[in-house]
């Protein structure tokens, strides 16, 4: 058993090193020397906003400073109970590019954000639509950078991780669960060509898509009941033959996803469970992944134990070497990945803790889902 456990740690460490190295080279290749795309097309920036009075002004103001001037900014007030609507209305009176849309009551069968995105799509006029969350802050090159990547890579939709802002280390370590994708899961270099729905990835903070692509999908109707709207859209694009891409977006925008650890926990456990495929086969696969992740989160401790035992029993020498080398490969890679995506080196050192948090959020979310309690987000129950 000790040989098996240490071998698993070694294999995962090697896989992580090779995967991230490949992903990093791909990201560097597609973004190296990126020039602004000379495009005069109308771009619609679509922002679903539900109780976003703390963020909406800074978000919209950052978008008004875009170098790409031909744009409209649509903000859908999704039945907010705070000052979101009045703040947007005040900005609308000063700049004609801004338009406030009053959201309709949530219709049966729809998830809240997807219903808001559908209404934004129906109201939009642009040849391109950039869906962005209200808690983002865009650089002046944000839109032109996304358009350039979309054009150079011949894509229909592009998304990517912004630079994440966190108020303290605990929130930053929690948010860094997103590193699971580039460091352990998705081979982005090959996914760009193969377009496997299973590996399709997106994040709602920056989601730029051609209008003609979204129209051919029928808007969001086919995924209206999905929990994880962004990944669901990416998977649908891949299934329907539309090239969806993922790229680093740190230079395009930044985002403070959560203001507290508990807020982040509730959101991420919902997203993690929303991405997971249902059914017996999916459950068995996830169970295997959960067991491996638990092993990885305690791998450094296990390596120390093997090292102590190896001092008196040579039978533990291979488990010690295998687990130690595996840990070094995995968590050095995790730190490199964290630094690349704008996290602090301090947060990057907490890879084992972050991996354990992934497991705990999934398990807690599974209990909520199976018990029928569901997830509560933005005042709505998501079952």
> pLDDT tens-digit profile of 318-359?
999 999 999 999 999 999 999 999 999 899 999 999 999 999
Contact 37, 148 (CB under 8 A): yes
The span from the CA of 75 to the CA of 84, in Å, is 10
Structural domains in the chain?
Answer: 2-23+274-382 (no CATH), 33-259 (3.90.550.10)
Order the strands of the 253-255 sheet from edge to edge. Answer: 136-138, 253-255, 163-164
Inter-CA distances, 279 with 199, 276, 359, Å: 18, 10, 19
Per-residue pLDDT tens listing for the chain (383 residues): 899 999 999 999 999 999 999 999 999 999 987 766 678 899 999 999 999 999 999 999 999 999 999 999 999 999 899 999 999 999 999 999 999 999 999 999 999 999 999 999 999 999 999 999 999 999 999 999 999 999 999 999 999 999 999 999 999 999 999 999 999 999 999 999 999 999 999 999 999 999 999 999 999 999 999 988 999 999 999 999 999 999 999 999 999 988 899 988 888 888 777 666 666 676 777 888 889 999 999 999 999 999 999 898 888 899 999 999 999 999 999 999 999 999 998 999 999 999 999 999 888 888 877 776 666 656 556 65
Contact 125, 72 (CB under 8 A): yes
Helix axes of 317-340 and 2-31: crossing angle, nearest 10 degrees: 20
Whose tokens are 């808007």? That residue is 219
Positive or negative, the Cα torsion across 60, 139, 170, 133?
positive
Q: Are strands 244-246 and 98-102 parallel, antiparallel or unpaired?
A: unpaired
Q: Secondary structure of the chain in the HEC alphabet?
A: CHHHHHHHHHHHHHHHHHHHHHHHHHHHHHHCCCCCCCCCCCEEEEEEECCCCCCHHHHHHHHHCCCCCCEEEEEEECCCCCCHHHHHHHHHCCCCCEEEEECCCCCCCCCHHHHHHHHHHHHCCCCEEEECCCCEEECCCHHHHHHHHHHHCCCCEEECCCEECCCCHHHHHHHHHHHHHHHHHCCHHHHHHHCCHHHCCCCCCCEEEEHHHHHHCCCCHHHCCCCCHHHHHHHHHHHCCCCEEECCCCCCEEECCCCCHHHHHHHHHHHHHHHCCCCHHHHHHHHHHHHHHHHHHCHHHHHHHHHHHHCCCHHHHHHHHHHHHHHHHHHHHHHHHHHHCCCCHHHHCCHHHHHHHHHHHHHHHHHHHHHCCCEEECCEEEC
């Amino acid at each position: 058993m000790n040989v098996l456990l240490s071998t698993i740690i070694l294999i995962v460490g090697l896989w992580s090193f090779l995967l991230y190295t490949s992903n990093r080279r791909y990201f560097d290749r597609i973004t190296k020397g990126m020039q602004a795309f000379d495009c005069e097309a109308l771009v619609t920036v679509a922002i679903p906003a539900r109780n976003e009075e703390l963020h909406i002004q800074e978000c919209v103001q950052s978008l008004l400073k875009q170098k790409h001037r031909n744009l409209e900014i649509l903000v859908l007030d999704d039945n907010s109970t705070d000052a979101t609507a009045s703040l947007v209305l005040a900005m609308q009176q000063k700049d004609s590019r801004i338009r406030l849309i009053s959201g309709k009551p949530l219709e049966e069968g729809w998830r809240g954000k997807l219903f808001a995105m559908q209404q934004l799509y129906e109201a939009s006029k642009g040849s391109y639509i950039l869906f962005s969350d209200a808690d983002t802050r865009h650089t002046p090159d944000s839109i032109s950078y996304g358009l350039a990547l979309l054009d150079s890579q011949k894509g229909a939709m592009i998304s990517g991780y912004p630079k994440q802002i966190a108020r303290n280390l605990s929130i930053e370590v929690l948010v860094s669960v997103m590193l699971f994708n580039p460091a352990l899961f998705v081979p982005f270099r090959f996914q760009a060509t193969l377009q496997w729905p299973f590996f399709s990835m997106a994040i709602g903070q920056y989601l730029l898509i051609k209008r003609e692509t979204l129209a051919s999908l029928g808007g969001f109707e086919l995924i209206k009941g999905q929990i994880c709207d962004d990944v669901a859209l990416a998977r649908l694009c891949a299934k329907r033959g539309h090239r969806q891409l993922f790229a680093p977006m740190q230079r395009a925008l930044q985002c403070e996803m959560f203001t507290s650890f508990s807020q982040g926990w509730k959101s991420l456990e919902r997203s993690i469970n929303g991405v997971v495929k249902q059914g017996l086969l999916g459950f068995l696969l996830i169970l295997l992944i959960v067991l491996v992740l638990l092993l990885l989160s305690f791998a450094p401790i296990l390596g120390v134990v093997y090292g102590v035992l190896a001092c008196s029993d040579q039978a533990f020498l291979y488990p010690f070497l295998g687990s130690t080398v595996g840990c070094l490969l995995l968590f050095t890679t995790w730190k490199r990945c964290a630094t690349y995506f704008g996290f602090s080196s301090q947060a990057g050192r907490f890879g084992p803790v972050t991996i354990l948090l992934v497991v705990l959020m999934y398990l807690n979310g599974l209990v909520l889902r199976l018990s029928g309690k569901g997830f509560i987000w933005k005042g709505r129950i998501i079952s």
